[in-house]
Amino acid sequence: MRSASCLRRYARHFSSSIQRSQLDITKVSLKDVIDQGFSNHSKPFTEDKETKITRLSNGLRVASQNKLGSQCAIGVIIKAGPKYEGNFASGTSHYLEKLGFHSSDLYADRNSFQEAMENCNSIFDCQVARDFIVYAVSGFNTNMDKLTHVLSETVLRAKFTEEEIEMAAKSISFELEALERSPPVEPIMNELLHVTAYKNNTLGLPKYCPKQNLDKINREDIIKFVAIQFKPENMVIAGVGIEHDALVKSVEKYFIPTVPNVSYEKAANDLPSPVTTVSEYTERDLSQYHAPMPEYAHVGIGFESCSYTDPQFVPACVLHSLLGGGGSFSAGGPGKGMYTRLYLNILNQHHWVNSAQAENHAYADTGLFTIIGSSFPTYLDRLVYTLINELHHTISSSISHEELSRAKHQLKSMLLMNLETRAVSFEDIARQVLTSDVKREPDYWVDQIDKVTENDLHELLHRMIYRCKPTLVGFGKVDKLPSLEDTVSLLNNESYKDKKLKTKYKMSSIFKGLI
């Protein structure tokens, strides 16, 4: 009977197939649906764009967003980094970056970590920024529980052996030698601008370990730093591409209690107070920083800008997109910012300018807006005047609707494109939750970008240029670099000031104390 039933179903399917084969599909409207005779068991996938946040009983925060696909990115972001090294030798965080994913209670050494990750087709990394440290893993979401376990091993159960610390020192020494042999301009200029703007405290502490500290930093220093900063209230565990409840369950299994093993060692008994100082912008002149550089001389001008929570944070991002810039040679296709002001008005108009680039650095309690340029040493004074003149031009002239719209579109496209990558999306979630306890979705930022007006940009420029003195740094052959006093005088040229606009904007409390 079963065979007869199968034959009847086959006969019906064969008959309907013949009828469809006799259909002239060239005469069927594109609006009509052609029945192929196949059952459709699939259903549309609705992506949950909401970021879910759970605060555990000990203060540890878990945040995640599910995404279509089999890949996930999970990591731990910690409020640490050079900003919090005030009571320690500069470079302690640099050591921690090199010591990430080494020996722990479960894994004998870095090779054991690597073997475990390779067995589940995953990768791992540790990175240090000025105000945070991040440990991250990426792989198939079916291995989420194991990936979370691996993270807990390197964050909470690292051993920091003397041999590993010695190897970290050698690795850092090699890295510093490589920087000296072939100095990368952008990282060095950013380092100089931060060190100068914040006078060697908080955000001004060096990101790279100074050579003279390689023999000073020891295991006891590292243990003390970890014991102070690696606390649950300073951590966020974030994930992208995984179910939130499953992540919370794994975190509770492997991260509770959230106390590093080294915190129970004798070295962690007598701890200095944690650094809670607010970053303060204090302008300074470091224009006579001579260093061996090939061919070009470099200059950086910095201004105090906006923190993440500042009402003018989004206008600062739009201003960065408006000014843009780059190098005199640009390879690649569209999206390079060729219509930004620094490209159109400086690079395209002055053959002797090698590069001109705006950057906006934002942190939890302050920000730094910079313009970095380079030229032949004999043109360095003209380069400074040209950069300042472009800032004055942006303040005093109108910004066309087309130009502002282009800057907004470029900013939105860069934002949305970067967030398509799970690693970037994970870091975005982690940093937002770490600094503000909330996660703003891309739609929110797109809406805020659309609301920025020409007047917002003019107000922000007046606030940056006329309320605080700038920071000036030079790198290379800087004999022709103007003094800080001459630069300030040029910036404060009365003919460019709109006094009505200046008095309209009220500065937040962090800036009032610095005027």
Bridge partners (DSSP) of residue 347 are none
* Per-residue confidence band for 40, with pLDDT thresholds at 50, 70 and 90: low
Q: Where are the beta strands (DSSP E) in 35-167?
A: 52-55, 61-65, 71-78, 123-128, 133-140
Residue that the structure tokens 């200046």 belong to: 502
Q: Quick one: average pLDDT of 413-425?
A: 92
Residue 89 scores a pLDDT above 70: yes
* Per-residue confidence band for 6, with pLDDT thresholds at 50, 70 and 90: low
- Please state which CATH number belongs to domain 285-512: 3.30.830.10
> What pLDDT shows up at residue 41?
59
Distance CA 238, CA 499 (A): 46
Selecting from 3.30.830.10, 2.40.10.120, 3.90.1150.10, 3.30.160.110, what CATH number does the domain 52-268 have? 3.30.830.10
As a three-state string, the secondary structure of 3-57 is: HHHHHHHHHHHHHHHHHHHCCCHHHCCCCCCCCCCCCCCCCCCCCCCCCEEEECC
Cα dist from 101 to 75, 123, 288, 345, 416, whole Å: 13, 11, 40, 48, 31
Peptide bond into 315 cis (omega under 30): no
Token code pair at residue 358: 């705006």
For residue 136, how far is the Cα from the chain centroid?
Answer: 14
> What pLDDT shows up at residue 46?
60
Distance CA 192, CA 204 (A): 9
Q: Quick one: average pLDDT of 155-167?
A: 95
- What residues contact 355, with CB distance under 8 A and at least 6 apart? 325, 326, 327, 328, 347, 372, 373, 374
Bridge partners (DSSP) of residue 104 are 158
Q: Quick one: average pLDDT of 421-431?
A: 93
Q: Quick one: average pLDDT of 305-318?
A: 94
Task: Of 421, 425, 433, give the one whose Cα is nearest residue 53.
Answer: 433
Residue 288 scores a pLDDT above 50: no
The residue ranges of every structural domain in the chain are 52-268, 285-512
* Per-residue confidence band for 296, with pLDDT thresholds at 50, 70 and 90: confident
Distance CA 132, CA 364 (A): 11
Token code pair at residue 236: 């966020």
- Backbone CA torsion sign across 381, 382, 383, 389: positive
CB 429 within 8 A of CB 242: no
C-beta neighbour count of 446 within 10 angstroms: 15
Using a pLDDT cut of 70, give the percent of the chain over it: 80
3-state SS assignment for residue 109: coil
3-state SS assignment for residue 299: strand
Distance CA 345, CA 349 (A): 6
Q: Quick one: average pLDDT of 473-490?
A: 88
Bridge partners (DSSP) of residue 304 are 368
Which strands sit side by side in the sheet containing 71-78, from one edge to the other? 52-55, 61-65, 235-240, 71-78, 133-140, 123-128
> What pLDDT shows up at residue 279?
54
Residue that the structure tokens 């400086």 belong to: 346
**pLDDT tens column, 249-265:** 999 999 998 888 888 77
Cα dist from 364 to 98, 131, 316, 334, 434, whole Å: 25, 9, 15, 33, 9
> What pLDDT shows up at residue 330?
63
3-state SS assignment for residue 197: helix
Strands 353-362 and 325-327: antiparallel
Distance CA 196, CA 435 (A): 25
- Backbone CA torsion sign across 422, 423, 424, 427: positive
Question: Of the segments 9-18, 319-328, 398-407, which one has the largest average pLDDT value?
Answer: 398-407
- What residues contact 140, with CB distance under 8 A and at least 6 apart? 70, 71, 72, 120, 121, 122
Residue that the structure tokens 């069927």 belong to: 28
* Per-residue confidence band for 477, with pLDDT thresholds at 50, 70 and 90: confident
**pLDDT tens column, 333-370:** 555 667 899 999 999 999 999 999 999 999 988 999 99
Residue 155 scores a pLDDT above 50: yes
Q: Identify which has the larger pLDDT, 382 or 332.
A: 382
52-268 and 285-512 in the same fold: yes
**pLDDT tens column, 13-38:** 544 544 545 667 677 777 776 665 55
Q: What is the mean pLDDT of the chain?
A: 84
3-state SS assignment for residue 438: coil
> What pLDDT shows up at residue 438?
92
Return the H-helix or E-strand segment holding 358: strand 353-362
> What pLDDT shows up at residue 44?
61
Cα dist from 412 to 75, 358, 370, 447, 486, whole Å: 26, 17, 21, 10, 37
**pLDDT tens column, 95-143:** 999 999 999 999 999 999 999 999 999 999 999 999 999 999 999 999 9
CB 491 within 8 A of CB 468: no
